Structure 1
Amino acid sequence: MDRQTAVGDVFETDVPARLDRLPWDRFHWLIIAALGITWTLDGLEVTLVGSLAGAINESPSLALSATQVGLSASAYLIGAVIGAIGFGWLTDRWGRRKLFFITVGLYMAASIATGFSWDFWSFALFRALTGAGIGGEYAAVNSAIQEMIPARKRGTVDLAVNGTFWAGAALGAASALVVLDPAVVDPEIGWRAAFIVGGVLSIVIMFLRNWVPESPRWLMTHGRGEEASRIVHEIEQRVEARHGPLPPLEYGPVKLRRRGHTSLRDVFDIMLHRQRRRTVLGITLMACQAFCYNAIFFTYALVLTKFYGVPSGQVGWYLLPFALGNLAGPLLLGPLFDSVGRKVMITLTYATAGILMAISGYAFQQGWLSAWEQTLAWTVIFFFASPAASAAYLTVGESFPLEMRAIAIALFYAFGTAIGGVAGPTLFGWLIEGGQRTDIFWGFLLAAFLMLLAAATEWKLGFAAERKSLEEVSAPLSLEPADGQKVS
């Protein structure tokens, strides 16, 4: 079936239904591999800084203080905020595919440059530019993945892809064990080489993305219905060749009106008026998980070295199980977000992580835990916190119309990161430098409170999106309503 009819500026298309009825195929694996690698890169970047914090602190050429390590982490996040907004706006105007290459190219150049840093200011600048590339990726990639994955699998896939951040984190932790081993390489060279190699790896990503088409849904909502239908037809032909006849469509076509680019005025009108409840929900989920994650993960290596006496070259051994627990959470719990439902699972994961974090923080303050016991506690906590954090991106992407999906993701990521992410590492770096367990305990309690606040907000404002098409969850701005029908 290849339905595309048009009368003047109004046209009818069944592209969404055709994308949602596709059986799982290697095409979907290609989308995950080529686009989902973004989170692996981000995990690699974040973990490298966390794992290498001790080595960078001891580096003869940099010798960053704990506060400067926290500030450089904040610089990375500030860059991510700026990149997300700028590239997110361009993604909705130019398309998903063009931005794939621009953002990964910026990441590659900045990551390599980080390996040649000569002082705190150059290190912070290159980290900010690296963050800008990753921030831009979040907007383009999150929107594209949600738009091309069938509705019945959207939650499972989105959480799993976001969870691959921790595959990168595990890779970063394992890499740190090698590059910081004096028997293998001089640590002063090792930490620099880690950033350079991370940038070079992005060449593989560019190769894979050559095979990824533009999002048919983006084309459809920008008046390019025929091109969208042609791309879907090509996908269908390849899928049919491997799986046989395709199943029938589960719902009918949508009628759209050709329109220009969505202005920022329209974006803010929808966020602040038409979808105010979803805006409050998205900000809360994003900001609370960002503070929790960035505050703890960016500075955990400093906790290990300062309070447990773990040598900087051995930090990777402790971060590795922590990362694997974070990876297991979305993979094992993700399918429940499509079966049990978004509202129940998001509330449950945020609340569980918050309660366990408060308990663990008190145990840390009392000195009850060894380095390995502390690591085990964090592994269990973030088994639940990881799918919760991933669900924040899923919620924001599903909350708003297709025409503004990328900029919406970017704005929420930027706002949430600015509130919870930038302040977190700096605050915890300062608390750790003070050397008092009680001070850090109050930081842990703050993170726990925010996770519980997010759980309560989800229970109050959450909405059902599981197994529904994106157009049903949030109607496109270009949707042409049927006679007598009101579009919300």
Structure 2
Amino acid sequence: MTRRSSSRPDPVAFSTVTTTIPARLDRLPWSRWHWTVVVGLGAVWILDGLEVTVVGSVASRLAEEGSGLPITVAQVTGTAAALYVAGACLGALFFGRLTDRHGRTGLFLVTLAVYVMSTALSAASVSVWWFFLFRFLAGFGIGGEYAAVNSAIDELIPSRYRGRVDLVVNGSYWIGAMGGALLSVVALDTRLLPRDLGWRLTFAVGVVLGLAVLLVRRRLPESPRWLLIHGREREAERLVDAIERRVERQTGRALSPVAKEITVRQRPGVGFLEIARTLFTVYPRRAVLGFALFIGGAFLYNAITFGFGSILVEFFGVDSGATGYWFAVVAFGNFLGPLLLGPLFDTWGRRPMIAGTYVLSGVLLFLTAWVFGAGLLDATTMTMCWAVVLFFASAGVSSAYLTVSEIFPMETRAMSIAFFYALGTAAGGISGPLVFADLTSSGRVDDAVLAFCVGAALMVLAGLVAAVFAVPAERRSLEDIAAPLSALDPGAPAGPGRSGGRDGSGAPGEAGEGEYGDPGERSGIPGG
């Protein structure tokens, strides 16, 4: 139930409202409706993994005579890859801002449409500039997906399931990577497909899957939490009523009543300065945590992925055309991590699981570097070592997206995800090649060992930061973890200065001060 402090007839009239909508969403049992949300929103990560892996796999084919595209390997793996990364960073920031201001639904339809169109036109490339342009635009759409989709998932999934669902959704990237690795082996076999057609069909597969996801998404609702804060609480009430009726039909159980309320002063949106102030002034420890998790993950993954193919070929004599099979094994290990460890993030808790997966994966990579440097591995055991390292690392890095999505206020959620995603993507796509490409392709064991150690050290450091700064957000409402900037005490005056925390300062502050918060950061989270 939602109560307005004014009775203006305009359905988008900004007022002060008291509501139980967040609590009603969090108390829902798992149902087929939630599966629809997960599939409709999360399947795009499979497309991202497919796309990135395919482009890397077909680079050598694109550079061959008769491919239909006059391009070099360096242009595919260098310029085109950098443009994809740049597009992803800019797309995340651009669409993240729009998602916070205009809602989740419209934006996650637009971002997927941009991706599908750009991938289709990449397949039709006949010139280098054409290929470069649509690789950039494909990245632009994918970057926007991370902001819009993670926001919507976290706001629609009940709090007790949020951790495992978010991890599996983000980890599903590796299903696409595994499929892309195997698909490239088939598509590049000239006994099956002509030299100028196979690589184009690999892009076409992504287009078909993207269109299927787009059809599912058209049935998904706007986030009731977003509607509530943006003056559309009547629409939010009708939507939650409909969701509850559907869940009751699907589960055969009547839902229990909810008493927990939150009072907000509705507003149209927040500006960049308020977003920056929230991230770096109100929640500095959480901002440091986001930086650490994304940077650590980016460097560990680049330490391995930049050297994967060249190490197998240079040191173990694997045929370059068969590396896709080996990569599929590593990708499978990456997906198993979030799938099997995800529930523990909701039961054991965020802090021990985030810190544990980061530190353990870093330590395991140190051990891998040592046994590799000692000459004790072959292609099979090296691949298994990578798979074990990334089993834990994938769960940890997937939780980075969960973390920055749930520890900042509702009004800044998409932009927070976009900011830290852009940071991590830029670190991986810009610093990664500079740091790791020469080390892992030099043919010298010591250089590859150094690359592993750099990635491992940053991963362990991020884990230690998480051990101190991670917020125990498991099974807690998003509004308890970080109050909306517009949250008020029930009954508090809705005057000009009352747009935020309980102290009237407009700053909600760190959750649970005295239990795990920073005394230097404000407290006042309802229910915290």
Q: Please state how far the C-alpha of 1:222 moved relative to its aligned partner.
A: 1.1
- The C-alpha deviation readout for 1:344-395, integer Å capped at 9, x for no partner, is 0011100111111122123334443222222111111100000000010011
Distance 1:51 1:373, change over 3 A: farther
User: Could you state the TM-score of these two structures normalised by the residue count of structure 1?
Assistant: 0.94
- Alignment-derived partner of residue 23 in structure 2: 17
- Alignment-derived partner of residue 36 in structure 1: 42
Q: Please state how far the C-alpha of 1:44 moved relative to its aligned partner.
A: 0.8
- Alignment-derived partner of residue 322 in structure 1: 330
- 1:286 paired with 2:284, answer no
Question: In structure 2, how many angstroms separate the alpha carbons of the residues matched to 1:287 and 1:160?
Answer: 21
Question: In structure 2, how many angstroms separate the alpha carbons of the residues matched to 1:322 and 1:172?
Answer: 13
Distance 1:176 1:5, change over 3 A: same
- Alignment-derived partner of residue 311 in structure 1: 319
- 1:205 paired with 2:203, answer no
- Alignment-derived partner of residue 357 in structure 2: 349
**Alignment partner of 1:255: what SS?**
strand
- Alignment-derived partner of residue 81 in structure 1: 89
Q: Please state how far the C-alpha of 1:192 moved relative to its aligned partner.
A: 2.4
Q: Please state how far the C-alpha of 1:187 moved relative to its aligned partner.
A: 4.3
Q: 1:131 aligns with which of 136, 139, 148?
A: 139
- How big is the alpha-carbon RMSD for the aligned residues of Structure 1 and Structure 2? 2.0
- Alignment-derived partner of residue 5 in structure 1: 3
- The C-alpha deviation readout for 1:284-342, integer Å capped at 9, x for no partner, is 10121122224533552344344444334322211111111111110100000000000
5+ residue gaps, structure 1: none
**Alignment partner of 2:4: what SS?**
strand
Question: In structure 1, how many angstroms separate the alpha carbons of the residues matched to 2:457 and 2:127?
Answer: 37
Instruction: Please say if residues 179 and 187 of structure 1, whose CA atoms lie closer than 8 Å, have aligned partners that are also in contact.
Output: no
Question: In structure 2, how many angstroms separate the alpha carbons of the residues matched to 1:431 and 1:423?
Answer: 13
Give the structure with the higher percent helix. Answer: 1
- 1:336 paired with 2:344, answer yes
Per mean C-alpha deviation after superposition, the further-off stretch among 376-385 and 304-313 is: 304-313
Q: Counterpart of 1:51 in structure 2: which amino acid?
A: S
**Alignment partner of 1:246: what SS?**
coil
Question: Highest relative contact order (Cα 8 Å, sep 6+), 1 or 2?
Answer: 1
- The C-alpha deviation readout for 1:406-439, integer Å capped at 9, x for no partner, is 0110011111222234321354333344333322
Distance 1:450 1:397, change over 3 A: same
Instruction: Please say if residues 99 and 147 of structure 2, whose CA atoms lie closer than 8 Å, have aligned partners that are also in contact.
Output: yes
- 1:253 paired with 2:261, answer yes
5+ residue gaps, structure 2: 7-14, 493-501, 510-528
Q: Counterpart of 1:206 in structure 2: which amino acid?
A: L
- 1:271 paired with 2:269, answer no
Q: Counterpart of 1:475 in structure 2: which amino acid?
A: A
Per mean C-alpha deviation after superposition, the further-off stretch among 131-140 and 285-294 is: 285-294
Instruction: Please say if residues 91 and 144 of structure 2, whose CA atoms lie closer than 8 Å, have aligned partners that are also in contact.
Output: yes
**Alignment partner of 1:201: what SS?**
helix
Distance 1:117 1:366, change over 3 A: farther
Per mean C-alpha deviation after superposition, the further-off stretch among 280-289 and 174-183 is: 174-183
Q: Please state how far the C-alpha of 1:55 moved relative to its aligned partner.
A: 3.2
Q: Counterpart of 1:155 in structure 2: which amino acid?
A: G
Q: Counterpart of 2:227 in structure 1: which amino acid?
A: L
Q: Give the greater-gyration-radius structure (CA).
A: 2
Distance 1:331 1:44, change over 3 A: same
Q: Counterpart of 1:14 in structure 2: which amino acid?
A: T
Q: Counterpart of 1:13 in structure 2: which amino acid?
A: T
Question: In structure 2, how many angstroms separate the alpha carbons of the residues matched to 1:88 and 1:435?
Answer: 41
- Please show how residues 105-120 of structure 1 align to structure 2 within 5 Å: 105-118=113-126
Question: In structure 1, how many angstroms separate the alpha carbons of the residues matched to 2:229 and 2:141?
Answer: 26
Question: In structure 2, how many angstroms separate the alpha carbons of the residues matched to 1:80 and 1:291?
Answer: 18
